[in-house]
Amino acid sequence: KQEVTQIPAALSVPEGENLVLNCSFTDSAIYNLQWFRQDPGKGLTSLLLIQSSQREQTSGRLNASLDKSSGRSTLYIAASQPGDSATYLCAVTTSGTYKYIFGTGTRLKVLA
């Protein structure tokens, strides 16, 4: 059974710092992986989607990498800003299924 873990559950960093958020999954036979952002009281916004054949995806200050063999993905945020404060969740899916398995998220606070 696929399980997705995100550690740490919470993280505080000063503004301007580069940071890495981690996502681990137990079954390496994934089809793709998505990173989401969730602001308090809001829905999720998809940030990056990485197909299993890809190693990384970039969007602006965000870079997500995928290492299927080790069951890990990282979300790199460059030059963090207070506006980046939110909960970041990852989710994986396997081939032939509509079901995404979500991690419980990392709550990020960027201090001004």
Calpha distance 29→81 (Å, rounded): 35
CA angle 53, 66, 7 (to 5 degrees): 150
Chosen residue from 23, 68, 84, 103 binding another protein by CB under 8 A = 103
Q: Does 42 bind another protein (CB under 8 A)?
A: yes
Chosen residue from 12, 58, 104, 111 binding another protein by CB under 8 A = 104
- Which residues are near another protein by CB under 8 A? 4, 31-32, 34, 36, 41-46, 49, 89, 91, 93, 97-100, 102-105
